[in-house]
């Protein structure tokens, strides 16, 4: 599976094209819209979220409520586009809009303008904007539907906002009831207060999102080549999210300071299947899932646009100038968790199709069931079969 997105922040809308979705997967706009709405919520979001009411329109790849095996085309309209028709016009307009030339530290403005030779930073702002993540969330919802067919769920919770931290429990009901997507009510209140103080100061806050994927099929990914290792693929996907600056599996940075005897996860057998007595590997070993929950933290920097702008320079003249102020959020950590869910789900769904095929969802589910049935110690597999062990059982 793969996907591409297109569209600008204030253009007519966003598009996601999802290729490789197995045929026969039940899919409706309503279940995608649930995640689109979750992405828009959260204390600290800006005025844009009161304008948009994100909803997907499926324009290809689905018929009578099921995927056909063709690429799934998803469209999300930008309601705010009516206020930007002259600025974002595809055709030249008689009175061109004033160019944006004051550069924002921490944003893609300067690097993007230098790369593409733009003299108007608007050409960078519109595509670099995190508005693009709405299309990612829509694509991720398709991936989640496929993962659910094999019993895999991906959830997120806010771990840190500013200096306020908690230990995630992934209690979905409590997380979704919180303005900052944190299950602990007292910590949620402290996070809200921290965001309010940053807003009052004309500043922004970042934080850390925790992810957990449960029911993950073991053996996704590979140790054989560097680009097939699943931990690397997950890292690339998550760090591609706007404002993401770091990540770890489980408690990797703490584990780096400890001895191996305290870090590596002992192997045991429970109910006839291999298991671990702890999960400090975060569900991956040797570039492959090992059957435990996949645990990931993603660190997001504070939003780059500040209401009290930092010193900067003008793109055209080089003269000192305060940074451009674009309508923005104060804190996006609650929404970032939903985007991170989408990206992790998509990587897992891609790896699932890579291992089990992506022609037909019923075939994929049957293949997963057969595979899971043999995930027992070798002797147990032999005892459960009346036929002589073949090369796989004897291996």
At 21-36, the pLDDT tens digits run: 999 999 999 999 999 9
Q: What is the mean pLDDT of the chain?
A: 93
SS3 state at 26: strand
> pTM for the whole thing?
0.94
Residue 30, number of CB atoms within 10 A of its CB? 9
107 lies in a domain?
yes
Pair type for strands 284-285 and 66-67: unpaired
381 lies in a domain?
no
Please check whether residue 71 is in contact with residue 17, taking contact to mean a CB–CB distance below 8 angstroms. yes
Number of domains in the chain: 1
pLDDT tens-digit profile of 107-161?
999 999 999 999 999 999 999 999 999 999 999 999 999 999 999 999 999 999 9
Backbone angles phi, psi at 383, to 5 degrees: -65, -30
386 lies in a domain?
no
Residue 271 has what pLDDT? 85
Checking if the pLDDT of 328 tops 80, the result is no
The model's confidence at residue 388, banded by pLDDT at 50, 70 and 90, is: very low
Residue 382 has what pLDDT? 65
Non-local CB neighbours of 326 within 8 Å, separated by 6+ positions: 104, 125, 305
Mean pLDDT of 246-272: 96
Mean pLDDT of 29-47: 90
Distances (CA, A) of 277 to 217, 268, 381: 18, 7, 22
347 lies in a domain?
yes
Strands (E), the chain: 2-6, 13-19, 56-60, 62-63, 66-67, 72-77, 153-161, 164-165, 207-214, 244-249, 267-270, 273-276, 284-285, 288-289, 294-300, 311-313, 320-322
The model's confidence at residue 49, banded by pLDDT at 50, 70 and 90, is: low
C-alpha span between 48 and 5 (Å, rounded): 20
392 lies in a domain?
no
The model's confidence at residue 241, banded by pLDDT at 50, 70 and 90, is: very high
pLDDT: which is higher, 50 or 172: 172
* CATH of residue 241: 3.60.150.10
Residue 389 has what pLDDT? 41
What torsion, rounded to 10 degrees, do the Cα atoms 284, 288, 292, 293 define?
70
Residue 217 has what pLDDT? 97
With b for 16 or more beta-carbon neighbours within 10 A and e for fewer, the 170-179 pattern comes to beeebbeebb
324 lies in a domain?
yes
**Radius of gyration in angstroms for the set of CA atoms belonging to the chain, rounded to a whole number:** 23
Residue 243 has what pLDDT? 96
Checking if the pLDDT of 392 tops 50, the result is no
Checking if the pLDDT of 395 tops 50, the result is no
Checking if the pLDDT of 386 tops 90, the result is no
The model's confidence at residue 307, banded by pLDDT at 50, 70 and 90, is: confident
Residue 387 has what pLDDT? 45
155 lies in a domain?
yes
pLDDT tens-digit profile of 164-209?
999 999 999 999 999 999 999 999 999 999 999 999 999 999 999 9
Checking if the pLDDT of 255 tops 70, the result is yes
The model's confidence at residue 50, banded by pLDDT at 50, 70 and 90, is: low
Domain carrying residue 17: 2-373
pLDDT: which is higher, 334 or 307: 334
Backbone angles phi, psi at 61, to 5 degrees: 85, 0
268 lies in a domain?
yes
With b for 16 or more beta-carbon neighbours within 10 A and e for fewer, the 66-97 pattern comes to ebebebbebbbbbebbeebeebbeeeeeeeee
């Amino acid at each position: 599976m793969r996907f591409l997105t297109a569209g600008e922040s204030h253009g007519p809308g966003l598009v996601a094209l999802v290729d490789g979705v197995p045929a026969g997967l039940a899919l409706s706009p309503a279940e995608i819209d649930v995640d689109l709405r979750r992405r828009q919520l959260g204390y600290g979001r800006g005025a844009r979220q009161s304008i948009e009411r994100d909803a997907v329109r499926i324009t290809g790849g689905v018929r009578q409520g099921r995927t056909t095996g063709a690429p799934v085309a998803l469209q999300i309209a930008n309601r705010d586009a009516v206020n930007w028709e002259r600025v974002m016009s595809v055709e030249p307009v008689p009175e061109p809009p004033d160019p944006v030339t004051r550069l924002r530290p921490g944003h893609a403005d300067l690097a993007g303008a230098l790369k593409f030779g733009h003299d108007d930073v608007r050409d960078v702002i519109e595509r670099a904007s995190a508005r693009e993540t709405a299309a990612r969330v829509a694509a991720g919802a398709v991936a989640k539907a496929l993962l659910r067919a094999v019993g895999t769920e991906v959830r997120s919770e806010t771990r840190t906002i500013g200096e306020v931290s908690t230990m995630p429990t992934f209690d979905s009901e409590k997380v979704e009831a919180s303005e900052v997507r944190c299950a602990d009510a007292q910590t949620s209140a402290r996070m809200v207060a921290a965001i309010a103080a940053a807003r009052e100061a004309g500043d922004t806050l970042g934080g850390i999102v925790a992810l957990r994927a449960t029911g993950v099929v073991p053996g996704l990914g590979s140790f054989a080549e560097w680009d097939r290792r699943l931990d690397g693929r997950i890292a690339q996907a998550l760090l591609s999210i706007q404002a993401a600056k770091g990540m770890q599996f489980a408690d990797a940075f703490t584990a780096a300071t400890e001895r191996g005897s305290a870090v590596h996860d002992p192997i045991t057998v429970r109910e006839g299947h291999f298991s671990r007595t702890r999960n400090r590997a975060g569900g991956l070993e040797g570039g492959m899932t090992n059957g435990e929950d996949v645990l990931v933290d993603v660190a997001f920097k504070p939003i780059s646009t500040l209401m009290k702008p930092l010193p900067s320079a003008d793109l055209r003249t080089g003269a000192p100038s305060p940074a451009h102020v674009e309508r923005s959020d104060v804190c996006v950590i609650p929404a970032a968790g939903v985007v991170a869910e989408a990206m992790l789900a998509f990587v897992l769904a891609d790896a699932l199709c890579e291992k089990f095929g992506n022609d037909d969802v019923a075939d994929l589910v049957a293949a997963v069931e057969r595979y899971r049935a043999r995930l027992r110690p070798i002797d147990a597999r032999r005892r459960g079969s009346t036929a002589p062990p073949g090369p796989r059982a004897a291996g």
